[in-house]
């Protein structure tokens, strides 16, 4: 198995999925779960803040600069001759 993302990034995505599900369930249920909904909202806000910090200070694959791929690399990835597409 090839692991592209580091553990903190994978944990971030799983916790975000769980909190989003909890927000949906507590938001659509009419049983007065406003405290759970508000707490989940605060937690997801803190989680997003942590992800922004980790995007600048984390491992190489977690950094936002790793998201940008040079155009030439895209052409090579998709098997297109770069000499034809120079601008």
Tens of pLDDT, residues 1-37: 667 778 888 999 999 999 999 999 998 887 778 899 9
Tens of pLDDT, residues 27-75: 888 777 889 999 999 999 999 999 999 989 988 888 877 777 666 666 6
Inter-helix orientation angle 7-28/34-57, to 10°: 160
CA dihedral 74, 77, 79, 84 (to 10 degrees): 20
Contact 29, 12 (CB under 8 A): no
Residue spans per domain, the chain: 7-85
How many other CB atoms are there within 10 angstroms of residue 25's CB atom? 13
């Amino acid at each position: 198995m090839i692991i592209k993302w580091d553990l903190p990034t994978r944990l971030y995505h799983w916790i975000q999925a769980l909190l989003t599900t909890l927000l949906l369930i507590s938001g659509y249920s009419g049983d007065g779960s406003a405290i759970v909904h508000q707490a989940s909202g605060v937690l997801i806000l803190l989680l997003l803040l942590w992800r922004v910090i980790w995007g600048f200070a984390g491992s190489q694959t977690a950094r936002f600069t790793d998201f940008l791929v040079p155009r030439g690399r895209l052409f090579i990835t998709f098997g297109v001759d770069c000499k034809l597409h120079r601008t």
